[in-house]
Amino acid sequence: MSEPQAGQATPAIREADMLIVGGGLSGTLLAMQLLRLPGARRIVLVEPRPELGRGEAYSATQLGHTLNGNAARMSVEPDDPDDLTRWLAAHISDGGWPQADKQLVPVAELFPPRGLFGLYAQQRLAQALQIGTAAGSTLTHVRDAVVDLQTHEQGVTVTLGDGGQWQAAAAVLATGMFPAARTAQRQSSGLNAAALDPWDVEALRGLAVDARVLIIGSGLTMVDALESLHQAGHRGPIQVYSRHGLLPQVRRQPPVWEDFLTLSPQLRSPLQLFRELRRQCRLAQARGIDWQAPLDTVRVHIGRLWSQASDAQRRQFVRHVRPWWESHHHRSPPQGNALLERLLSEGRLTITAASLQGVDAAGGRPRIRLRYRGQAESVWIEGDGLINSTGIEYDWRRVDKPLPVQLLRRGLVQPGNLGLGIAADASGAVLDAASQPAPRLFAMGPPLRGMWWESTAVTDVALQAKALAERLARLV
């Protein structure tokens, strides 16, 4: 960023009580909770998108891009798990989402489109703003990106892309997720430069209807890519490659299972948990109950188990268990799974275990170099189109964006456990390079992946937002 020229006035630093960096779901839920608390505060939320509450995840416009959890699991109100169900029922009754009537299931079991969920979050923010306004609080949406951040005795100062600056008593890094398909990466393999956006239906319409499409990654982003291709009218072959060749399981609605982890506090290591979970799933199946029932009870214990595990145990989990955990725990919504199963049955979709070794798009048609699982040599595969569906980039050291680069370079943050996100203490205060907690700089949501492992789901983010808002209210 250039310095002011001679004769030019230095732009005044604008002031706020609280700065929130990022206006996706994380930042929006934090603002919502702050606005509801007693007291008058000037809250500034910096987000380049025109709308708050959507971010990467909930800006989707296709009805087929749905939540991967049903309405009963996705409330933004930590103390009211039925909030989304009631909102959705009222929205459907008022004529919104008419397609819901075709699914013939209770509202609580519906998997809403992600764009519709974004509207729900926006309306809850609007209601909180009415409460805050009555108490003298304000919320300002600054449409820009934070490119730098400094801490000092008075609090925190952020610099925006247009050169403007804001200063506040405290700031929160609510930067959300960095989708690998949309994130410039340092030391990139070149995959993104050659690949199409998995959510950009218009770009995918540029492919021939019978194009041979190559997809890297077989998780939930791949399910979205299949839906995007379907909406684009694609009818050709689709070849999916991932390291383990695992597909997401479909999410069902199993009955309640006994919380075996609460009853067995001695289960602490990932290996112990894995063995007992398998035993519980076999026990459920022997009783004629869906194996997903025991698995779903683990959800509330993940943060505790991850935080108390040793570094060696965490590495063991990531290296040996993570692929199976991701495919069984982060399950596909029924609509997406139905499309996947149909493509498999038609023979149009294949899934192969292989690791990506290189990308070449110089010849006009994308080529990828793969090493098939169990093979020593790699081979080149050519297609008509390429999609990056490798999911989320959690390692800030690989993210080539100004703010993460600056924060890491100056030691204001340090990588989290196993390079996942950034480090913080239990309250969300960011740890600097010397592992000292910042008194007025905090983080929440996906940046705390290394601390809690599961830090991206709506329920996780909602709980963090409420707890962090209460702490921030004591500062401002």
pLDDT in tens, 358-415: 999 887 899 999 999 999 999 999 999 999 999 999 999 999 999 999 999 999 999 9
Same domain, 52 and 125: yes
Same domain, 286 and 211: no
pLDDT score, position 11: 67
Same domain, 31 and 136: yes
In a domain, 95, yes or no: no
In a domain, 173, yes or no: yes
pLDDT score, position 2: 39
In a domain, 420, yes or no: yes
Domain count, the chain: 3
In a domain, 72, yes or no: no
Burial readout 179-214 (b: 16 or more C-beta within 10 A, e: otherwise): bbbebebeeeeebbebbbbbbebeebeebeeebbbb
**Which range of residues forms the domain containing residue 456?**
14-65+113-178+394-475
Same domain, 283 and 203: no
Same domain, 56 and 129: yes
Task: Name residues whose C-beta falls within 8 Å of residue 365's C-beta, 6 or more positions apart in sequence.
Answer: 382, 383, 384
DSSP symbol at 321: I
pLDDT score, position 3: 45
Report d(CA 350, CA 344) in Å as an integer.
7
Q: What is the 3-state secondary structure (H, E, C) of 25-41?
A: HHHHHHHHHHHHCCCCC
pLDDT score, position 1: 37
Same domain, 241 and 370: yes
CATH number at residue 407: 3.50.50.60
Instruction: From 388, 403, 434, give the residue that closes a domain.
Output: 388
- Tokens for 268, please give them: 């602490």
Q: Classify 274 as helix, strand or coil.
A: helix
Same domain, 294 and 361: no
pLDDT score, position 299: 87
Same domain, 28 and 119: yes
Question: What are the average pLDDT values for consecutive 10-residue runs of the chain, which has 476 residues?
Answer: 48 93 97 97 97 90 89 96 97 92 89 95 98 97 97 93 96 95 85 93 96 97 97 97 95 92 79 87 96 92 86 88 89 95 97 96 89 95 96 94 96 95 95 96 96 89 96 92
> C-alpha angle 97/99/100, rounded to 5°?
75
In a domain, 6, yes or no: no
Instruction: From 293, 308, 329, give the residue that closes a domain.
Output: 329
Instruction: From 388, 411, 427, give the residue that closes a domain.
Output: 388
pLDDT score, position 102: 82
pLDDT score, position 70: 94
| Tokens 């009218």, located at residue | 233
In a domain, 1, yes or no: no
In a domain, 432, yes or no: yes
Closest CA to 112 of 52, 173, 56, 67: 67
Kindly compute the dihedral angle of the four CA atoms of residues 326, 329, 332, 334, in this order, to the nearest 10 degrees: 160
Same domain, 299 and 435: no
Same domain, 455 and 315: no
In a domain, 163, yes or no: yes
Same domain, 426 and 470: yes
Same domain, 164 and 194: no
